[in-house]
Amino acid sequence: MATIHTNCLIIGSGPAGYTAAIYASRANLNPIVIEGVLPGGQLTTTTEIENFPGYPEGITGSEMMDELRQQAERFGAVVNEGIIEKIDFSARPFIAVDDSGNEYEAKTVIIATGASAKYLGINDEKTYAGRGVSACATCDGFFYRKKVVAVVGGGDTACEEATYLSNLAAKVYMIVRKDYLRASKVMQQRVMDNPKIEVLFNTNTVSLFGDGKVQGANLVRFKGTDKEELFSIDIDGFFLGIGHKPNTEFLNNQITLDEGGYIVTQGHSTATNIPGVFAAGDVADPHYRQAVTSAGQGCKAALDAERFLLENQ
């Protein structure tokens, strides 16, 4: 199969990948986007987006990503289906191979593969995805004003999500499988002092229920012991707070990652430890994980790639 040459290979779509493609196209870099396992990224699983500038009436995640893709293609970006399975960063130009055996030779690479939310693994998480199940309180909390929600997890992420939601919801349950919180002392205290948050220790989620949307959760306390107790709570929203996993496996440890597996970028730029390789969006952002910040990083990555090519002809 013939090798496909490009000045800029963008691995991953979503706000970061498509925005990088828009800017790279306008800079005449003739970028190629490899969409990845979920074309459009995680936002395509979000029913309504109301916090992205320029959409006063809101927009679905799928619609927004479709518009971003069309905008990138309008300026000449090539958007291909596929998953990059391996890539060699040992020398420029870089060589990448997708799951169909297509080989790409790229002078620069922008990694925008995102981070996947960790799920419990119960079937109801998929059944109610976008209909009460969420992995982002900042994204979806607005829809649960004065309602009752639950957050699963006992670490800093869960405590942050619960605290954020307590400013919107009428009540927040924290479902914690251990008998303690793993979060930092400050976050623990913040949760325990919050009258809107009730922590359910030693508790696991069995299933969710509801007619078309989440209306409650079936739980078990002291699972597998002689004190095991089944009970249910009425909730309107179920938030996963057990962390995210950056999609970096295919990099095969060629790029410097932090302890959480996120790509480490240099200073204020999107540059990685490999000259000519840049990272944007959730794959390099353990803190914000918002569509608008990912789009901004996609812009920066394309500008960084353009500057790199000018300086390294």
Q: Which positions are catalytic?
A: 136, 139-140
CB 16 within 8 A of CB 280: yes
Spatial distance between the Cα atoms of 274 and 4, rounded to a whole number of angstroms: 21
CB 281 within 8 A of CB 12: yes
Spatial distance between the Cα atoms of 126 and 212, rounded to a whole number of angstroms: 12
Spatial distance between the Cα atoms of 276 and 143, rounded to a whole number of angstroms: 41
Opening angle at CA 103, ends 108 and 9, nearest 5: 25
CB 262 within 8 A of CB 286: yes
Spatial distance between the Cα atoms of 150 and 165, rounded to a whole number of angstroms: 9
Spatial distance between the Cα atoms of 59 and 68, rounded to a whole number of angstroms: 12
Listed in order, strand segments (DSSP E) in 102-170 are 103-111, 115-117, 133-134, 148-152
